[in-house]
Structure 1
């Protein structure tokens, strides 16, 4: 969006060079805004990757805990199958031997 605004402003300056001093500051601010948006998007991408990594780590730890507790009675999480019903969003847990 800011790139299009910068391109439009540059085109307007080409058509009427007299407006350049008036819009020079605005052009600078638009370019800075574009760089800021790009950095924010990079940080968001990094944060999402970090979230997924931490989520996978936490799920792994929870599975280990579940297997530890179920192991005391001779079971494991591999003995259970979880199915999600897409229409209702509910989950169905079945025991498999």
Structure 2
């Protein structure tokens, strides 16, 4: 059970990192993982909060960049289909990595 839980948390952590790469906010990440990866928002939020605690400076800068990009008019958000496809690929890749161990 513990190994499975750790693997699940590792998956959520990995997916959050990918959300960060695509400049998603915490709320967008929670919504995307809930909808496309069937991960409860409370799980995503908890892992995100732990990452924030461990990486305060990064998230401070990330938050500032998020604020600046939201104030600009151009939006480069991914479409719903692109988000779904990306998350499914990440989950498949994570599962394949787990099978190799």
- Under a length normalisation based on structure 2, what TM-score does the superposition of the two structures give? 0.26
Which structure carries more strand by proportion?
A: 1
**Structure with the larger RCO, 1 or 2 (CA within 8 Å, 6+ apart):** 2
Which structure carries more helix by proportion?
A: 2
- Under a length normalisation based on structure 1, what TM-score does the superposition of the two structures give? 0.27
